[in-house]
């Protein structure tokens, strides 16, 4: 009995020595403990969520930056967060050390868009998808689509002619949706447009709903619409496979996904098509809505843009060339392009993005603990007076000089930056060409408010009246 007790004591002693040695040799112990960034974490669990949502979120961010500097901690929606608002820190998170910060979204969004969609991934699978998406949206692939986009723009404007438009954003969503379908399905889109639209419009209502999957709830209806959307996509895939056409004949996103030699599954294709519609539509429609507002409020800029667009039109008439716009025409609109850049900066429709630290990370002498959310604050960078003097002023001429590196982040930066940026700029230019040369508009009601849905938008989606010139 005594022997057994001594043996147990020896084992206990060896075990304790082992733990002690491990503790003394651990790299964490030898490394000096870094402080967390400055800031406050608020109440247990709710943190500072009320402070953020009880006011314009940008006022919350700006007051924190003023108090704590460009990197600070807070606690939002149950998650400890580090917010960053300097171009250097944003580059560190999004570009240089992007492998240490994974994208992160609410689980309900993942279920709606589909968990195989590009946004939620890192590493090999993400690189493969990105290559396929970029292939479909690079200038060489979209230049052939200019005239189709133009006819969608002309139809959209015609449908609004002479009307009081209660919500300009809603109307422009239809335009951006139709262009997104064109870039995904090519000419096939017309056959499926109405079915896809009906399902997608039900699906999107659930994006910000409570994730309660019970009959009658918004979430339940959305999930049902998502299943129907997948079935329509399966039919389109089946038809293309039967026609045995390869991606050469289909220079669109679906062709790019189907032409991949390694092969994506149908589910992966469906998740990414739904994801691209989501990424392409409200963003582009929101930017266009802001442009219409800023041009309406700045008559001298509107006049200069109109002159530039009329010159494009005249040069086509004089040369006796086809009247349809070409890719080259859209590259000959420098002032209108600066208006787009300045709108992207002032409106900063994506105020920030989310990442999560995959391990403890040191930045600027602070610890960003594993599992904490990290938010690069795009809007604060775009509204910093050191980087953009008089930041609240709408002044497209500031883009006559290229912005300093990593300071203009409207399309993000690095690994997950926007692969659709060329298409977005193209469809905005085409619509603006016809809007400014053929139409006049007046802004209705109060113009000062901003709403978030989740992208920043003029109050009530910008009611306007549109007239033919
Ligand atoms: C003016 C309109 C647009 C704006 C302001 C915009 C902005 C952005 C930003 C900031 C990101 C990066 C988000 C992050 O780092 O977390 C992003 C990603 C993305 N955008 Fe856009 N976008 C626009 C239009 C489009 C269009 C037209 C498409 C497709 C045709 C598109 C497809 C995507 C995709 C697929 C991603 C995810 C990329 C990845 O995770 O690798 N976007 N966009």
* Domains of the chain with CATH codes: 107-344+383-468 (1.10.630.10)
pLDDT given for residue 54 in this prediction: 74
What distance in angstroms lies between residue 279's CA and the mean position of ligand 1's atoms? Answer: 6
Task: Give the whole-angstrom CA distance, residue 402 versus residue 389.
Answer: 14
Task: Give the whole-angstrom CA distance, residue 401 versus residue 408.
Answer: 12
In ligand 1, the atom with minimum distance to the C-alpha of 94 is 15
Token pair of 185 as six digits: 């399905």
Helix (H, G, I), strand (E, B) or coil at 161: coil
Q: Is 411 in the pocket of ligand 1 (CB under 6 A)?
A: yes
Token pair of 350 as six digits: 């994506």
Give the residue from 312, 319, 303, 318 showing the smallest Cα distance to 334: 312
pLDDT given for residue 248 in this prediction: 53
What distance in angstroms lies between residue 296's CA and the mean position of ligand 1's atoms? Answer: 27
Q: Is 420 in the pocket of ligand 1 (CB under 6 A)?
A: yes
What distance in angstroms lies between residue 412's CA and the mean position of ligand 1's atoms? Answer: 8
Q: Is 270 in the pocket of ligand 1 (CB under 6 A)?
A: no
Q: Is 118 in the pocket of ligand 1 (CB under 6 A)?
A: yes
In ligand 1, the atom with minimum distance to the C-alpha of 428 is 1
**Which segments in the chain show pLDDT lower than 50?**
247
79 is in an annotated binding site: no
Asked if 304 and 333 count as a contact pair (C-beta separation under 8 A), the reply is no
Asked if 258 and 240 count as a contact pair (C-beta separation under 8 A), the reply is yes
pLDDT given for residue 247 in this prediction: 47
pLDDT given for residue 11 in this prediction: 63
What distance in angstroms lies between residue 53's CA and the mean position of ligand 1's atoms? Answer: 25
Task: Give the whole-angstrom CA distance, residue 256 versus residue 247.
Answer: 6
Asked if 296 and 465 count as a contact pair (C-beta separation under 8 A), the reply is no
pLDDT given for residue 78 in this prediction: 86
Q: Is 279 in the pocket of ligand 1 (CB under 6 A)?
A: yes
Helix (H, G, I), strand (E, B) or coil at 362: strand
Element (H, E) at 338: helix 334-347
Q: Is 176 in the pocket of ligand 1 (CB under 6 A)?
A: no
Cβ count near 325 (within 10 Å): 22
Task: Give the whole-angstrom CA distance, residue 217 versus residue 196.
Answer: 21
What distance in angstroms lies between residue 113's CA and the mean position of ligand 1's atoms? Answer: 14
Which residue minimizes the CA distance to atom 16 of ligand 1? 353
Which residue minimizes the CA distance to atom 20 of ligand 1? 418
């Amino acid at each position: 009995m005594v022997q057994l007790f001594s043996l147990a004591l020896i084992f206990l002693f060896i075990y304790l020595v082992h733990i002690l040695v491990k503790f003394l040799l651990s790299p964490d112990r030898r490394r000096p403990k870094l402080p967390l960034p400055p800031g406050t974490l608020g109440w247990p669990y709710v943190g500072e969520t009320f402070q953020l949502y009880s006011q314009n979120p940008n006022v919350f961010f700006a007051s924190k930056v003023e108090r704590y500097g460009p990197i600070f901690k807070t606690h939002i929606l149950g998650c400890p967060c580090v917010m960053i608002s300097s171009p250097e820190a944003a580059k560190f998170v999004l570009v240089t050390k992007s492998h240490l910060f994974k994208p992160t979204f609410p689980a309900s969004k993942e279920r709606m868009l589909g968990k195989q969609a590009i946004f939620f991934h890192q590493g090999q699978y993400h690189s493969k998808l990105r290559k396929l998406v970029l292939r479909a949206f690079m200038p060489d692939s979209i230049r052939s689509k200019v005239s189709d986009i133009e006819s969608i723009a002309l139809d959209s404007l015609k449908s609004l002619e002479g009307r009081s438009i209660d919500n300009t954003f809603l109307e422009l969503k239809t335009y951006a949706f139709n262009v997104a379908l064109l870039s995904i399905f090519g000419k096939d889109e017309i056959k499926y447009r109405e079915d896809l639209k009906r399902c997608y419009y039900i699906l999107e209502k659930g994006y910000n709903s409570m994730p309660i999957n019970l009959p009658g709830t918004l979430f339940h209806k959305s999930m049902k619409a998502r299943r129907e959307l997948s079935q329509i996509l399966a039919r389109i895939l089946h038809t293309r496979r039967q026609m045995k056409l390869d991606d050469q004949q289909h220079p669109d996103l679906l062709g790019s996904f189907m032409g991949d030699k390694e092969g994506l599954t149908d589910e992966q294709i469906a998740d990414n098509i739904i994801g691209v519609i989501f990424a392409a539509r409200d963003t582009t429609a929101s930017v266009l809505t802001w442009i219409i507002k800023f041009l309406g409020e700045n008559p001298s800029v509107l006049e200069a843009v109109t002159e530039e667009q009329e010159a494009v039109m005249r040069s086509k008439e004089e040369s006796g060339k086809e009247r349809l716009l070409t890719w080259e025409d859209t590259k000959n609109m420098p002032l209108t392009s600066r208006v787009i850049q300045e709108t992207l900066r002032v409106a900063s429709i994506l105020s920030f993005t989310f990442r999560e630290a995959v391990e403890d990370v040191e930045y600027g002498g602070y610890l960003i603990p594993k599992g904490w959310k990290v938010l690069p604050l795009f809007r604060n960078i775009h509204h910093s007076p050191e980087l953009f003097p008089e930041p609240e002023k709408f002044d497209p001429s500031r883009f006559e000089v290229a912005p300093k590196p990593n300071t203009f982040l409207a399309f993000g930066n690095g690994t997950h930056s926007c692969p659709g940026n060329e298409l977005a700029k193209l469809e905005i230019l085409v619509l603006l060409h016809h809007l400014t040369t053929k139409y006049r508009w007046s802004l209705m009601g109060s113009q000062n408010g901003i709403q978030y849905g989740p992208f920043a938008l003029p109050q009530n989606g910008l009611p306007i009246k549109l007239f033919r010139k």
